[in-house]
Amino acid sequence: MERSGLGRHLLLFEPCFAAIIRLDSIGTEVWRLIDGRRSIKVIATAIRDRFPGVDADVAKDVRLFIADLAKRGFVTFPNSPFLQPSASTGSSAPIRNGKTESIEEQGLKYALDLADGSRLAIAAADADAERVVERFALAARLAPVRTSARRRRILVAAVPNSDGAAGRPLRTTDPAACLIDRFSPGPLRQVGRSRGSIRLVTESEWLWRQLVRLSSFIGREAQACGGVLLHGALAVYSPPGRTGGEAGVLLAGRSGVGKSTASGRLPQSWRSLCDDTALVVRREDGSYWAHPWPTWSRFFAGGTGHGWEVQHAVPLRAVFILEQAKRESVQPSGPSEAVCMLSEIARQAARHLWRGAGPAELAAFHRQRFDNLCGMAQALPVHLLDVSLKGHFWREMERVLE
């Protein structure tokens, strides 16, 4: 939040939403009193004392003014993202202005450390965003942090009718802003081919969509540093006594080929870390490390989700493209074939990464991802792996790794 004095007026500028409000002397005093401790009733009393000539129903005017600030994203509230101008707003609940330091005081931040050295702090700007951030942190098993010092902060903010803008990194000076949809069960949505087929957007569906948007935003941040989100199951090979340490592999392939099934069949010398998506990052030494990523579809339709050790990255040693067959076999792919196959599994994971992007931005995104995948194909072996229903396909992978 930035402010500027202009004569007897005060200009408020919200960089996330590019909103500007000019305040007169009374409005400036109301803004000063919004500190997270005073209620509307207390603020109205202070205004009557400071400006004796105001109307008797100044409390109503204060309530309407703060409601307008809330709708524009300048203030937030403990239990709801926006204050409605009704009789219920006369409660004693404290409110706070939307200055950056106020968000710091709320402590709505979770640490996400990636293997490429990126240190992120995911923060929530309002109540709806807080629900999404907290569920993301629970699924990814992230720990809360009280400060964003020495971390790149990602601010999640709920706005009405974002129309996919959340997939685009709307950058401000600090922090990066990930826009999600404000929760509203009211709008009806037509489904199927029948015009009379409508339903409400459920809370679980809303939550699932916003989790995917936040996940995609983080994926774009990682891609800017040489990484990429890949659709596949991540597993680690770490038998007792292995001198090479953990070896991560990605089991990928077309939808329905059996990635999750194969991941669940791995023996004790293997450990499955996730069965849907992995975030691959590139270190300065050129090595690639993979983070297990949550399966967000488990939150859809009221699902309780799950927990993934997202910050437990493993060195990625190989990618295996699965294909159903009568018996096991493995063969290496050539560099160009590897890039094509990696591009396909990256495309499957990137459906939400570029929603709402314009032609130029979309082209730049695709070029960046292609360059990242070319580097990955040169550094990592990519193999074609035939998998049968009951065969020991992992032995083929072990031969490649050893």
- Domains of the chain, by residue range, sit at 2-99, 101-215, 228-401
Separation of alpha carbons 302 and 148, rounded Å:
33
Beta strands in 256-392 (DSSP E): 270-274, 277-282, 288-293, 314-324, 329-332, 382-387
CB 248, CB 312: distance < 8 Å: no
Instruction: Specify the pLDDT at position 266.
Output: 93
Q: Say yes or no: do domains 2-99 and 228-401 share a fold.
A: no
The model's pTM is 0.68
Identify the CATH assignment for 2-99 out of 1.10.3470, 3.40.50, 1.10.10, 1.20.59: 1.10.10
Amino acid at 142: L
Instruction: Specify the pLDDT at position 179.
Output: 86
Instruction: Specify the pLDDT at position 196.
Output: 52
- Burial string for 153-174 (b: 16+ CB within 10 Å, else e) reads bbbbbbbeebeebbbbbbeeee
Residue numbers in the chain where pLDDT is lower than 70: 1-9, 11-21, 72-73, 76-108, 161-175, 185-201, 300-305, 351-357
Instruction: Specify the pLDDT at position 186.
Output: 55
Neighbours of 375 (CB within 10 A): 16
Each residue of 81-132: pLDDT tens digit?
A: 333 333 333 334 555 554 433 333 345 689 999 999 999 999 998 889 999 9
Pairing of strands 247-252, 314-324: parallel
CB 158, CB 214: distance < 8 Å: no
CATH architecture of 228-401: 3-Layer(aba) Sandwich (3.40)
Separation of alpha carbons 399 and 237, rounded Å:
12
CB 175, CB 123: distance < 8 Å: yes
